[in-house]
Amino acid sequence: MSEQSGNREVAAQAARQRWLAVLARAGVAELETQLARHALPALSWLRRPESGLMMVRARAGGTGQQYNQGEVSVTRCAVQDETGRLGVGYVQGRDSRHAELVALFDLLLQDETRQADLLPGLIAPLAARQAAARDKASAQAAATRVNFFTLARGD
């Protein structure tokens, strides 16, 4: 593998990580509306949506040895198109349709022509809204930051 194609692969993986993270945090209603605007290719479900558990790991002291904190509910599925592309949906929670929608968009986003439409049309606005919600929570927390001051004592 040449260095150039290796770099392309790394970039493609990073892009996919990004859209999967955004889709996993998106609302189902919104994804449903967006999906209605796209003609789906012929598909086969390699794994129908199933809900289960994953054990959340943490580290002693935040940085030390691993331990098991407790489980989290997760729903997953996988879909394939005729070219063999694989769309993967993993979401926190038990919403089967959410996992399906993530897998379908993951599949569509791997098609370069659709990607050119979906990245700015779907992923970017979703990401912006998610960032805005995080910023708002952070800004509200920041308003509760303590500003210490020292009272001057009179002599």
Partner 1 sequence: MYVAVKGGETAILNSYALLADARRGDTDVPELSVAQIRQQMRLAVARVMSEGSLYDEDLAALAIKQAAGDQVEAIFLLRAYRTTLPRFGYTLPVDTARMGIRRRISATFKELPGGQVLGPTYDYTQRLLDFTLLANGVATEPPAQAEALPADMPRVTDLLAGEGLIEPETPPDGDPAPVDLSREPLKFPADRATRLQNLARADEGFLLALGYSTQRGYSHTHPFAGEIRMGEVALEIVPEELGFAIEIGDITLTECQMVNQFAGSSTAPPQFTRGYGLAFGEAERKAMAMSLVDRSLRSQELAEAIKSPAQQAEFVLSHSDSVEASGFVQHLKLPHYVDFQSELELVRRMRATHGQPTPEEETA
Shortest distance in whole angstroms from residue 8 CB to partner 1: 15
Shortest distance in whole angstroms from residue 100 CB to partner 1: 14
Shortest distance in whole angstroms from residue 108 CB to partner 1: 17
74 in Cβ contact with 47 (< 8 Å): no
Span 80-139, contacts to partner 1 by CB under 8 A? 86, 88, 90-94, 134-139
> Can you read off the two tokens belonging to residue 28?
């189902």
The distance in angstroms from the start CA to the end CA of the chain is: 78
122-154 per-residue burial string, b: 16 or more CB within 10 A, e: under 16: bbeebbeeeeeeeeeeeeeeeeeeeeeeeeeee
Asked whether position 7 contacts partner 1 by CB under 8 A, the answer is no
Residues lying near partner 1 in the complex (CB under 8 A) are found at: 13, 16-17, 20-21, 24-25, 50-74, 76, 78, 86, 88, 90-94, 134-146, 148
